[in-house]
Amino acid sequence: MKNALLLLLSIIVLSTGPIFALDITMDAERDDFYNALTGPADGYIYLSPASLGVGSGSGSPDDEFDCSGLVWFSWDSSYFYCYAEVTDELINVNSSTTYENDCIELKIDPDPLMESTSGVAAVRLTAWGEADAEVPDGVDNLIKGAELDEAWEPVEGEDYARKEVLTDTRYGYNLEFRLPFDVIVRAEKYVDVRIGGIMGLAVNLHDNDAGVRDFALRWGSDMDDTVWSDPQKHGTVTFLEGNKVNLSTANAITGVDTNSVDYTPPATGVATQPVQTPVQFELAQNYPNPFNPTTMINYSLAKAGHINVTIYSLSGQKVNTLVNEVQNSGVYSIPFDGSQLSSGVYLYQLQAGSQVFTRKMTLLR
């Protein structure tokens, strides 16, 4: 009886305090709330190349520009929220199998206190929507896998959002979504939505560079791909005051944590281009290619000089001059927006003194 009273008292203490509705806008832009988070202890993780999952494909990331992600989580009495900023040199939704495409995927154990080897809910949001995907059947807007308990029709702009990001330091995409707690139900497991409540979670960031999933970056208590069905390999989410969550890679059922990856976000909050000393004058193939309507053009300079980067039609007509200035030796990455052009093949040319390189790129509208 005494132990039962103590347990009841602890539940009352943990449950006290208001749970404020979170003011989050579903626009795939970072809200001010997320800027205040600092690391896994309050809901913010970095999926670096070191977080490579086991059994998720035959590939591995070349570096953080090949694939990496910053991911934030939050909650209120109605929803579990996720916001991700993904760096990815090549964005693909070109498979009819949703998890084979570029996407973020959550595997959730609603109630890890019901010790079980089953009962995993799941959602994923692909990098592209139907309008941009090469294979629209591969697009997932959170519910295609039917891995939630009941019918739910998420609304774009209200429950989820996507945004392509193309800057001089980052190419990739942002994803944002919210999940109603009342649909995160599997095998009679329900989320204990209160301060101090917990649920199991595994995070997968899938990367597709060649038509199938090359690899997944992962957060959980175990890096094995069986996190998709085994809640005993999930990490633990604890709901905190102030709409924050604690993200622990220790499993709530077994207490086991075999994951030694550091998920602490970088101090800059974003991956930045590493300093390199190029050994040759080179113009790389643009990515993505084909593109619609934006792409990145990379080149390296072995020495300083006056540089021109120019876009031409196949007939030789100048379309745009992207660079016309003196630049130091180094590695450069510049965006090109073809939204004002028609579909077709174009030439992009790098000229430095007497050295000239020209490549082709394809715009598909």
Write the pLDDT tens digit of every residue in 154-212: 999 999 999 998 776 788 999 999 999 999 999 999 999 999 999 999 999 999 988 89
Q: 4 pLDDT exceeds 50? A: no
Single out the residue of 307, 299, 318, 365 nearest to residue 338, CA to CA.
365
Question: Which carries the bigger pLDDT value, residue 354 or residue 340?
Answer: 340
State the pTM of this model: 0.72
Burial 290-300 (b: 16+ CB within 10 A, else e): ebbbbbbbbbb
Count of residues for the chain?
365
Mean pLDDT of 15-39: 87
State how far Cα 362 lies from the chain centre: 26
Q: 13 pLDDT exceeds 50? A: no
Question: Which carries the bigger pLDDT value, residue 311 or residue 16?
Answer: 311
Question: Which tokens in the block code for residue 11?
Answer: 């539940």
For the four alpha carbons of 26, 273, 202 and 242, in that order, the dihedral sign comes to negative
Q: Which one-letter DSSP state was computed for residue 26?
A: -
Task: Identify the band that residue 17 occupies on the pLDDT scale cut at 50, 70 and 90.
Answer: low
Over the stretch 50-96, which tens digit does the pLDDT of each residue have? 999 999 998 999 889 889 999 999 999 999 999 999 999 889 999 99
Query: What domains, with CATH codes, occur in the chain?
Result: 16-248 (2.60.40.1190), 282-363 (2.60.40.1930)
Residue 121 in contact with residue 147, Cβ under 8 Å? Answer: yes
